[in-house]
Amino acid sequence: ISSTLSSDMTIMDSSYIGVRDEHPEIDAEIRAILLANAQNGITISSIKNEYRQLTGTAFPVHDNITDFLLTIPHVTAECCESGKRIFNIKPTEETRHLHDMILQQRQRESRNNYN
């Protein structure tokens, strides 16, 4: 059973190899999107939307997006009481200074506001 499981995992992970070949910076890009939204977390549809706005390309994964996001180191997911799935990020040594500021900054009232 365990060998079946691990081979399933291998197949699943390898299905993202093509995505990472074509978008070598995608892990860092998604972590950056999550970090910018670390105060409240962010849903899949908003991640896709911000990815398009910030990189100019459509989000390259279409199925099993949660599985894909959870192959990215430091990414977290939680299910809210409302049933919404919210993604967030754990800071690394390199991004802790930004993470601290973002968590403690003024609460954002609305999305996509400027300055």
- Binding stretches for other proteins (CB under 8 A): 25, 28-29, 31-33, 35-36, 50, 54-57, 92, 94-95, 97-98, 101-102, 104-106, 108, 112-115
* Contact call for residues 88 and 34 (beta carbons, < 8 A): yes
Identify which of residues 4 and 112 has a Cβ nearer to other proteins in the complex.
112
CA distance 69 to 89: 11
* Contact call for residues 53 and 36 (beta carbons, < 8 A): no
Identify which of residues 64 and 92 has a Cβ nearer to other proteins in the complex.
92
Identify which of residues 31 and 44 has a Cβ nearer to other proteins in the complex.
31
Query: DSSP for 50-99?
Result: HHHHHHSS--S--S-HHHHHTTSTTEEEEE-TTS-EEEEE---TTTHHHH
In the complex, the smallest distance separating the C-beta of residue 75 from other proteins, rounded to whole angstroms, is: 13
In the complex, the smallest distance separating the C-beta of residue 105 from other proteins, rounded to whole angstroms, is: 5
User: Helix, strand, or coil here: 24?
Assistant: coil
In the complex, the smallest distance separating the C-beta of residue 54 from other proteins, rounded to whole angstroms, is: 5
In the complex, the smallest distance separating the C-beta of residue 60 from other proteins, rounded to whole angstroms, is: 15
Identify which of residues 58 and 70 has a Cβ nearer to other proteins in the complex.
58
